Amino acid sequence: MHPRAAEYLKGLQDRICAALAAADGGATFREDSWTRPGGGGGRTRVIENGAVFEKGGVNYSEVYGEFAPEFAKQMPGDGLSFTAVGVSLVLHPHNPLVPTVHANFRYLTHGSKAWFGGGGDLTPYYPFKEDVVHFHKTWKRACDAHPTVADYAKMKKDCDEYFHLKHRNEARGVGGIFFDYMDATEDAFAFVRRAGDAFVEAYVPIVDRRKGLSYTPEQRFFQEYRRGRYVEFNLVYDRGTVFGLKTNGRTESILMSLPPVVRYIYDYTPAPGTPEADLTRYWLQPKDWADMDGDV
């Protein structure tokens, strides 16, 4: 399974980068190939200061070696030996009307245990209902095509619970799907391929709809403030960040997910009744988005 997963994920990185560069129209991805001292390496691809994307990355990694004993106890499986192959991506657009997005698809082994994990989630700053509904419906179609292994309702709920900043009792975004520790069967691999291929369909149409919209300095200010939540989640809770740092991964690639410009403001609260206040009051409350129509 490992070489097949690696071949698929390398190709997925290529296809996603091509689609995102085309959507940006002003920049291409720079690639850094790297090796990990303990075994393996990867290809980090970064886009910066484009027409649409202020910063983003689509990373492929394939690493192997031994876990530290204390970290091995926290992972499914047995012994210390592990392998991991995956694609992870984050895109931070300039325009606050274009949402940030994250996705990850991975295959891991630890001793006798092998599993898949991944998903995709959307973090808008000024949400549009049709965008949120489109994003969720795309993932639901991918799940519904593989009912033996993929339950959209559960994966959506798990996403809402995972991308939650416990210290603020606040969601990071409007969710998507999240799954982990999925036994590495052929059915699971078929679903992961379907989900990986669905990313471009889920996100690029949103980019194309919103990238030409004008925005104000005040909207940009709020985007930079909300990006702080992204930083907090990735540094405190994100499993991929923890896994990469605990296994001596490439730090630049692991922290590629952080936005380039962020504001931290003491005790900032948007005025009631504004779009900024509505983000947390309405949009970041879990909803059955895939059951809604996409009308504004």
Catalytic amino acids?
102
How far is Cα 51 from Cα 225, in angstroms, rounded to an integer? 22
Cα–Cα nearest to 89, from 17, 38, 143: 17
- The structure tokens 């992972």 sit at 75
| CB within 8 Å of 129: residues ≥ 6 apart | 292, 294, 295, 296
How far is Cα 174 from Cα 123, in angstroms, rounded to an integer? 6
Please write down the HEC assignment for all residues of the chain.
CHHHHHHHHHHHHHHHHHHHHHHHCCCCCEEEEEECCCCEEEEEEEEECCCCEEEEEEEEEEEEEECCHHHHCCCCCCCCEEEEEEEEEEEEECCCCCCEEEEEEEEEEECCEEEEEEEEEEECCCCCHHHHHHHHHHHHHHHHCCCCCCCHHHHHHHHHHHCEECCCCEECCCEEEEEEEEECCHHHHHHHHHHHHHHHHHHHHHHHHHCCCCCCHHHHHHHHHHHHHHHHHHHHCCHHHHHHHHCCCCHHHHHHHCCCCCCCCCCCCCCCCCHHHHHHHHHCCCCCHHHCCCCC
